[in-house]
Amino acid sequence: MDFDLLLRKVAENPTLDDCCALLEKANGYEEVRKLFDFASKVRDEKVGRTLKLDSFVYPVKRCVMEKYCIYCSNYVEKFRLEPLSLEEFRKAIDFIKECGMKRVTLEGGFSRDNSRVFDFVKISTKAKLETALDIFPISSEELVKFKLLGVSEIYSSIEIADPKLFSYFKPGESFEERIKLAKEVCKNELGLSSTLIVGLPNTGYREWVKGILMLKDFECLKHLAISAFNPVYGTPLENAQPISNVKVAKVVAAARILLPEADISACGSVGI
């Protein structure tokens, strides 16, 4: 199929096969330029040419798992960080305010103890910062409390949109629980944020696009972060090759076309 025709087809009636074919065909300079130009036009028409300055504070709680994610720095004991103290957190919030930022994401590892997170949220919302939470898990009761405290968005990061691959890369977590949290976020009329990881070994366009299409079904989706895999020393994936920047950009372009009104960001884990 002609590339221009395929591009229009994906924009009007996206399917997994067509989206994957589009990204596979976008190999040469002309095709990549057309993909980027089309995505830029969608952005300009739907949300405007606006860059949003964001910030995050990490960690607001420690990561405690029986089996750690095999790509994450927390897999290596010496890389695990202790949660910030209230004083350290206040300093971070003050610095963010001084920089003129309007939004902050509070990030933490896997732990069922969210008791201290409420104190952090009170500090960030009192500072009049739009506050998002990237922690897991969160109970239904805690969602209600966070909403009452002024939290605007909750992350339920799908990361790998295939249950079997999810279990392989994240053996200590449940794919179904991530989906359940996303549904609870929408039920409570909060904004949903999510992260998809691109570049993990044995994954490709099909797994990455599947995640975007899965999130497209959530009406409360506000923000999608495309996170580029980088290998971390000491993990089982330390010798894996990182994904190319061009591939990351192509997936970001696809996300913009498929999610025309959501905030789209590109990020990446730090190779240690």
Structure confidence by residue, pLDDT tens digits, 213-243 = 999 999 999 999 999 999 999 999 999 999 9
pLDDT tens digits, residue range 147-194?
A: 999 999 999 999 999 999 999 999 999 999 999 999 999 999 999 999
What pLDDT was estimated at residue 192? 98
What pLDDT was estimated at residue 271? 46
DSSP 220-253: TEEEEEEEE----TTSTTTTSPPPPHHHHHHHHH
CA 181 – CA 186 distance, rounded (Å): 9
What pLDDT was estimated at residue 53? 85
pLDDT at 270 over 70: no
pLDDT tens digits, residue range 43-77?
A: 999 999 888 888 999 999 999 999 999 999 999 99
CA 247 – CA 28 distance, rounded (Å): 12
pTM as predicted? 0.94
pLDDT tens digits, residue range 90-130?
A: 999 999 999 999 999 999 999 999 999 999 999 999 999 99
Which residues of 8-129 form beta strands (DSSP E)?
A: 56-57, 103-110
Q: Which two tokens stand for residue 10?
A: 């994906």
What pLDDT was estimated at residue 51? 83
pLDDT tens digits, residue range 76-99?
A: 999 999 999 999 999 999 999 999
Tracing tokens 């991530």 back to the chain, one arrives at 178
How high is the mean pLDDT of the chain? 95
For residue 137, is the peptide bond before it cis, meaning its omega torsion is within 30 degrees of 0? yes
Among residues 206, 205, 216, the alpha carbon closest in space to that of 248 is found at 205
What pLDDT was estimated at residue 272? 38
What pLDDT was estimated at residue 269? 58
